């Protein structure tokens, strides 16, 4: 499997990418939708290599840490600082997001309460089983890759009657914001790198409208450097041949129909809802929440949290346009003034590879 | 949001929980999202769940395509 | 910030701000302001201290006893001093089993012998149950200076040497906590670095043990002090397969994982081969590698760059906050 990272193979792929992009009008702007793609591109130093080969990568809205509104983070922080004998369990990356109340990482919990980082929702269930005298809330944030796992923890708790467990859900779906992006006028994005593991769950169908209705090419990509470059090549070929489609460049993991079992789980336990995305505003039917029969395990209902998502958004935030590649960070009136790494407003400043944070760090060197 | 590791199934219990192995590190994995998983299968592990089974044939095909890119350069 | 949060102790930016803003502001003096691992006292003695707070206190490859000796010994070694005498302060929580205490003391004895140091003085306190996490230990250490680190003499072409594999201590502790349902054969790398002392006389300009924040943080701190950049090559960095596996599953970058028995050295190019081959003769230096060099043609002064496995180049930044497993 080391071929996926091998220097000479990567160089070969980049040479080919360079050849094609030279024939088209470069730079070609491709949006990687998934936070993990952004991470991989960063980790292997691919961004600059791709730039040199005529491809500019734009970071899209697929970063659950970034697009979950502050109001959710603050509700989580509030719960562990004001309630005693309370355990907030969460994935690690969620805890570093700064809010007006600090970040989950820097909170000082109330007496008998604590924050515990977990790797899987199953661990949260274990915590609840082992501490029956404490209230356990799992801050379940994620896209379709993680949604089934979180949903199963809800049914498991329901079946076990684990009354001290509930989930504060911030569940999101990938296709709706993509629709919002392509429906805007004069979009700059020429192709999409679709998230490999979300696709393993939802399959190819949910993206087809992007190629069919809007004529924009895209490829489902895995997470090794080789996977990403193969998918980019496929996108360039689709552009050159003017044959936009949804290509599957991760066929070893993604089936065209996705994971039907996982889709059934989602269908059974959750229902769609309109949701407010940081930086993108309200998008209809873009979020998921537990169905009413599971209300006892839905932390928002159980603790009557009344989260008013989007109430914190600042007028003027241009993340939506930055995310679409239509505005550059300094063009946003909030950039570096009210919006900076210590108190970020939009996902572009929260995501470590978000356009605004990267610009801010680069400009200061 | 997609951190997933290819790991080999080494243990399966009736409740749908199993264990997978990645480079010698063993992790508990919930296998209930997959049908017909056998010991020795490779799966993608995300947040403690196996979300997909790897297709061996497709994997080999991709490896072959990748290798060709290295040899292209040498010409 | 009006209340001290856990994050403060993590070694990241918050801690540095705390040190600058509170400690140096209130206590600053020429010794403290240097912010070195050990103070160099006028009598050509190095003096250092460290406190050890680890959960759990026993883990594969060591325990809080081995840590409290080696940590302080290593601070002296990388400061150019021969470790000689330690003090030992114990703050024990009421209810700690005496057998556990005996086990820790045995570890301290063994580690001291191995490191050639003597525990010369100490103190013991017991606090009420619930007011301490089983046991907290502080050690202070002194030893004669045998060399003066000279980071100001570092120049382009100097080599960066790493004494062994990364991250095993961090992962061993995480695994011992039973976190994340992971099982792996990883033992803490906790060890004394006395075997590096002779290299001070072989032209070594600077040394640092890789503790909290990992390799990246240590080298970033050096890069910030010199008018050059440092480039390391990812494929040269020794990592055990178990470390590679566990860190990839958790989504943690091994360059930020803490060690307790590994160091990085800056050695002039013409001495690097010799130092490397001598280092490899010691059991603790078997996997030593030249992993990079000081540069003045690539990147900007003060930058730490990584030449990646795939041929790209990226900036490595210091750890800003606690290392966390991620899903994203």
Domain positions in chain A are: 60-313, 319-363
Position A86 confidence tier, pLDDT thresholds 50, 70, 90: very high
Asked whether B28 and B19 are in contact (CB, 8 A), the reply is yes
Whether residue A251 and residue B58 make contact (CB cut-off 8 A), yes or no, is: yes
Which residue of chain A comes nearest to B42, CA vs CA? Answer: A253
The CA distance from A285 to A172, in Å, is 9
Considering only A7-21, C21-35, C92-106, C257-271, which range has the smallest mean pLDDT? C21-35
The CA distance from A171 to A273, in Å, is 10
The C-alpha torsion from C221 through C224 and C225 to C229, rounded to 10°, is: 110
The CA distance from A43 to C21, in Å, is 33
User: Chain C window 171-190: which residues touch B at a Cβ cutoff of 8 Å?
Assistant: 180-185
Question: How far does the CA of residue B18 sit from the closest CA of chain A (Å)?
Answer: 13
- A230, B1, C236 from A47: Cα distances, Å: 15, 19, 22
C251 shares its domain with C311? yes
Residue A351, pLDDT score: 75
A344, A357, A302: which is closest to A136 by C-alpha? A302
| Chains touching A by CB (3 or more pairs below 8 Å) | B, C
The CA distance from B38 to B54, in Å, is 12
Residue A97, pLDDT score: 84
Residue C322, pLDDT score: 65
CATH class, range A60-313: alpha beta
Considering only CB atoms, C241 lies closest to which of B3, B24, B26, namely: B24
Pairing label, strands A114-117, A86-90 = parallel
C98 shares its domain with C229? no
Here the CATH number for the domain that contains residue C304 is 3.90.650.10
Position A297 confidence tier, pLDDT thresholds 50, 70, 90: very high
Q: Is C40 left (phi over 0), alpha (psi -120 to 50) or beta?
A: beta
How large a percentage of chain A has pLDDT more than 90? Answer: 68
Tokens of A360: 């801010």
Q: What mean pLDDT comes out for the span A337-355?
A: 80
Which of the four CATH numbers 1.10.10.60, 3.40.50.150, 3.30.930.10, 2.30.30.140 does domain B5-74 have? 2.30.30.140
∠ Cα A164 A99 A327 (to 5°): 125
Digit-coded pLDDT (tens) for A197-206: 999 999 999 9
Residues of A in contact with B20 (CB under 8 A): none
Helix (H) or strand (E) holding C56: none
The CA distance from A80 to C6, in Å, is 14
User: B59 touching A, CB under 8 A?
Assistant: yes
Residue C1 has pLDDT above 70, yes or no: no
C193 shares its domain with C119? no
For chain B, the structural domain boundaries read 5-74
Position A311 confidence tier, pLDDT thresholds 50, 70, 90: low
Whether residue A9 and residue B66 make contact (CB cut-off 8 A), yes or no, is: yes
Q: What mean pLDDT comes out for the span A302-313?
A: 82
Question: How far does the CA of residue C84 sit from the closest CA of chain A (Å)?
Answer: 39
Position A145 confidence tier, pLDDT thresholds 50, 70, 90: very high
**Residue C5 falls inside a structural domain:** no
Considering only B40-44, C63-67, C311-315, which range has the smallest mean pLDDT? C311-315
Asked whether C142 and C47 are in contact (CB, 8 A), the reply is yes
**Residue C260 falls inside a structural domain:** yes
Residues of C in contact with A117 (CB under 8 A): 179, 324-325
Q: How many residues does chain C have?
A: 328
C134 shares its domain with C221? no
DSSP code at position C212: T
C120 shares its domain with C158? no
- C81, C113, C141, C196 from C86: Cα distances, Å: 13, 12, 4, 19
Residue A293, pLDDT score: 96
The CA distance from A118 to C180, in Å, is 6
Tokens of A310: 């989007």
Residue B1 has pLDDT above 70, yes or no: no
Digit-coded pLDDT (tens) for C262-291: 999 999 999 999 999 999 999 999 999 999
Q: What mean pLDDT comes out for the span C244-261?
A: 90
Tokens of A134: 């404490």
The CA distance from C300 to C298, in Å, is 7
Q: In total, how many domains does chain C have?
A: 2
The CA distance from C327 to A65, in Å, is 10
Whether residue B1 and residue C327 make contact (CB cut-off 8 A), yes or no, is: yes
Digit-coded pLDDT (tens) for A315-324: 788 887 887 7
Q: CB within 8 A of C274, min separation 6: which ones?
A: C202
The CA distance from A86 to A80, in Å, is 6
DSSP code at position A134: S
- Contact residues of A toward C, CB < 8 A: 5-7, 10-11, 35-36, 39, 42-49, 63-65, 91-93, 95-96, 102, 105-108, 117-120, 122-123, 142, 146, 225, 365
- Return the bridge partners of C39, or none: C47
User: B63 touching C, CB under 8 A?
Assistant: no
Of C144, C178, C200, which marks where a domain is finished? C144
C317, C324, C78: which is closest to C220 by C-alpha? C317
Digit-coded pLDDT (tens) for B30-68: 999 999 999 999 999 999 999 999 999 999 999 999 999
Q: First CA to last CA across chain B, in angstroms?
A: 39
The rounded Cα A128 to chain-centroid distance in angstroms is 27
**Residue C7 falls inside a structural domain:** no
C311 shares its domain with C190? yes
Whether residue B27 and residue C242 make contact (CB cut-off 8 A), yes or no, is: no
Tokens of A267: 């269908």
H runs (alpha helix) in chain C: 13-18, 25-27, 30-33, 64-77, 98-115, 168-176, 214-225, 241-250, 269-281
DSSP code at position C23: I
- Return the bridge partners of C46, or none: C40, C143
Q: How many other β-carbons are positioned within 10 Å of the β-carbon of residue A176?
A: 21
Asked whether C182 and C266 are in contact (CB, 8 A), the reply is no
Considering only A243-257, A287-301, C5-19, which range has the smallest mean pLDDT? C5-19
Q: CB within 8 A of C50, min separation 6: which ones?
A: C68, C71, C72, C75, C138, C139, C140
- Test mutation, A43, A147, A253, chain B, max B CBs within 10 A: A253
C202 shares its domain with C302? yes
**Residue C165 falls inside a structural domain:** yes
* Mean pLDDT taken over chain C: 92
Helices (H) and strands (E) in chain C, counts: 9, 15
Q: What mean pLDDT comes out for the span C35-63?
A: 92
C276 shares its domain with C200? yes
Digit-coded pLDDT (tens) for A19-49: 999 999 889 999 999 888 988 898 899 999 9
User: B13 touching C, CB under 8 A?
Assistant: no
Q: What mean pLDDT comes out for the span C91-98?
A: 96
Residue C229, pLDDT score: 97
Residue C2, pLDDT score: 74
Question: How far does the CA of residue C175 sit from the closest CA of chain B (Å)?
Answer: 11
Q: Name the more confident of C201 and A59.
A: C201
User: Chain B window 19-38: which residues touch C at a Cβ cutoff of 8 Å?
Assistant: 22-28
- Return the bridge partners of B42, or none: B8
Q: Exposure pattern of B3-41 as b/e (b: 16+ CB <10 Å)? A: bbbbbbbeebeeeeebbbbbbbbbbbbbbbbbeebeeeb
Residue A144, pLDDT score: 97
What domain range is C187 assigned to? Answer: 151-315
The CA distance from B20 to B3, in Å, is 16
* Mean pLDDT taken over chain A: 91
Residue C12, pLDDT score: 67
Q: What mean pLDDT comes out for the span A87-93?
A: 92
DSSP code at position A353: T
Residues of A in contact with C250 (CB under 8 A): 119
Residue A364, pLDDT score: 56
Asked whether A198 and A63 are in contact (CB, 8 A), the reply is no
Digit-coded pLDDT (tens) for A91-130: 988 887 888 888 888 889 999 999 999 989 999 999 999 9
C301 shares its domain with C210? yes
Considering only A39-43, C137-141, C172-176, which range has the smallest mean pLDDT? A39-43
CA-only gyration radius of chain C, Å: 19
Q: Name the more confident of A326 and C171.
A: C171
C139 shares its domain with C158? no
Residues of C in contact with A107 (CB under 8 A): 5
Residue A365 has pLDDT above 60, yes or no: no
Q: How many other β-carbons are positioned within 10 Å of the β-carbon of residue C206?
A: 21
Residue A313, pLDDT score: 65
Asked whether C251 and B3 are in contact (CB, 8 A), the reply is yes
């Amino acid at each position: 499997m080391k071929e996926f990272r091998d220097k000479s193979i990567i160089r070969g792929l980049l040479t080919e990418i360079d050849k094609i992009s030279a024939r088209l009008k470069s730079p070609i702007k491709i949006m990687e939708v998934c936070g993990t793609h952004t991470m991989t591109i960063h980790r292997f130093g691919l961004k600059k290599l791709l730039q040199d080969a005529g491809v500019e990568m734009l970071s899209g809205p697929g970063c659950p840490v970034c697009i979950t509104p502050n109001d959710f983070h603050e509700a989580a922080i509030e719960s562990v600082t004001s309630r005693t004998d309370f355990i907030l369990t969460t994935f690690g990356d969620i805890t570093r997001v700064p809010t007006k109340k600090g970040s989950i990482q820097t909170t000082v919990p109330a007496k008998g309460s604590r924050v515990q980082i977990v790797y899987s929702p199953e661990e949260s269930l274990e915590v609840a089983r082992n501490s029956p005298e404490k209230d356990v809330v799992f801050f379940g944030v994620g896209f379709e890759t993680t949604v089934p796992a979180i949903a199963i923890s809800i049914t498991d708790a329901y079946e076990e009657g684990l009354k001290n467990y509930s989930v504060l859900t911030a569940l999101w779906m990938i296709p709706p914001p993509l629709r919002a992006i392509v429906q805007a006028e004069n979009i700059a994005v020429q192709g999409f790198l679709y998230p490999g593991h979300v696709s393993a769950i939802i399959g190819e169908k949910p993206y087809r409208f992007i190629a069919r209705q809007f004529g924009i090419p895209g490829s489902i990509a895995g997470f090794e450097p080789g996977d990403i470059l193969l998918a980019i090549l496929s996108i360039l070929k689709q552009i050159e041949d003017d044959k936009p489609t949804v290509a599957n460049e991760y066929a070893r993991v993604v089936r065209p129909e996705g994971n039907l079992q996982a889709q059934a789980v989602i269908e059974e336990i959750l229902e769609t809802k309109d949701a407010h995305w940081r930086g993108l505003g309200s998008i209809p039917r873009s979020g998921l929440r537990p169905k009413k029969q599971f209300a006892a395990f839905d932390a928002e209902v159980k603790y009557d949290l009344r989260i008013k998502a989007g109430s914190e958004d600042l007028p003027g935030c241009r993340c939506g346009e930055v995310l679409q590649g239509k505005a550059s960070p300094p063009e946003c009136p909030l950039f570096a003034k009210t919006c900076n790494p210590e108190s970020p407003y939009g996902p572009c400043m929260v995501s470590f590879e978000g356009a605004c944070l990267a610009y801010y760090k680069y400009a200061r060197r | 949001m997609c951190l997933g590791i290819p790991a080999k199934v080494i243990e399966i219990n009736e409740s749908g929980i199993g264990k997978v192995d990645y480079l010698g590190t063993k992790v508990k994995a919930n296998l209930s999202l997959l049908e017909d998983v056998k010991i020795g299968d490779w799966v993608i592990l995300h947040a403690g769940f196996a979300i997909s089974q790897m297709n061996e044939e497709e994997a080999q095909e991709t490896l072959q395509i990748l290798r060709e890119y290295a040899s292209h350069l040498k010409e | 910030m009006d209340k001290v949060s856990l994050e403060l102790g993590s070694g990241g930016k918050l801690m540095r701000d705390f040190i600058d803003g509170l400690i140096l502001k209130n206590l600053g003096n020429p010794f403290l302001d240097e912010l070195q691992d050990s103070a160099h006292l006028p009598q050509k003695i190095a003096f250092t201290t460290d406190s050890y707070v680890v959960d759990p206190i026993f883990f594969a490859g060591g325990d809080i006893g081995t840590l409290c000796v080696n940590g302080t010994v290593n601070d002296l070694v990388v400061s150019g001093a021969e470790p000689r005498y330690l003090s030992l302060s114990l703050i024990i929580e009421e209810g700690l089993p005496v057998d556990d205490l005996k086990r820790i003391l045995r570890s301290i004895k063994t580690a001291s012998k191995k490191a050639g140091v003597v525990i010369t003085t100490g103190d013991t306190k017991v606090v009420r149950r619930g007011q301490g996490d089983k046991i907290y230990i502080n050690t202070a250490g002194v030893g004669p200076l045998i060399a003066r680190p000279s980071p100001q003499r570092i120049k382009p072409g100097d080599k960066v040497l790493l004494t062994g594999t990364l991250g095993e201590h961090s992962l061993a502790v995480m695994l011992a906590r039973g976190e994340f349902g992971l099982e792996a054969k990883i033992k803490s790398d906790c060890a004394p670095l006395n075997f590096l002392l002779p290299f001070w006389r072989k032209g070594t300009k600077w040394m640092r043990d890789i503790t909290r924040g990992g390799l990246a943080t240590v080298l970033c701190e050096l890069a910030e002090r010199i008018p050059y950049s440092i480039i390391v090559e990812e494929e040269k960095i020794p990592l055990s397969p178990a470390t590679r596996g566990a860190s990839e599953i958790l989504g943690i970058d091994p360059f930020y994982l803490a060690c307790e028995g590994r160091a990085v050295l800056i050695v002039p190019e013409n001495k690097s081969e010799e130092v490397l081959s001598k280092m490899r003769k010691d059991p603790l230096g078997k996997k030593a590698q030249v992993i990079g060099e000081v540069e003045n043609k690539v990147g900007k002064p003060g930058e730490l760059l990584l030449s990646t496995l795939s041929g790209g180049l990226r900036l490595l930044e210091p750890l800003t906050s606690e290392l966390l497993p991620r899903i994203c």
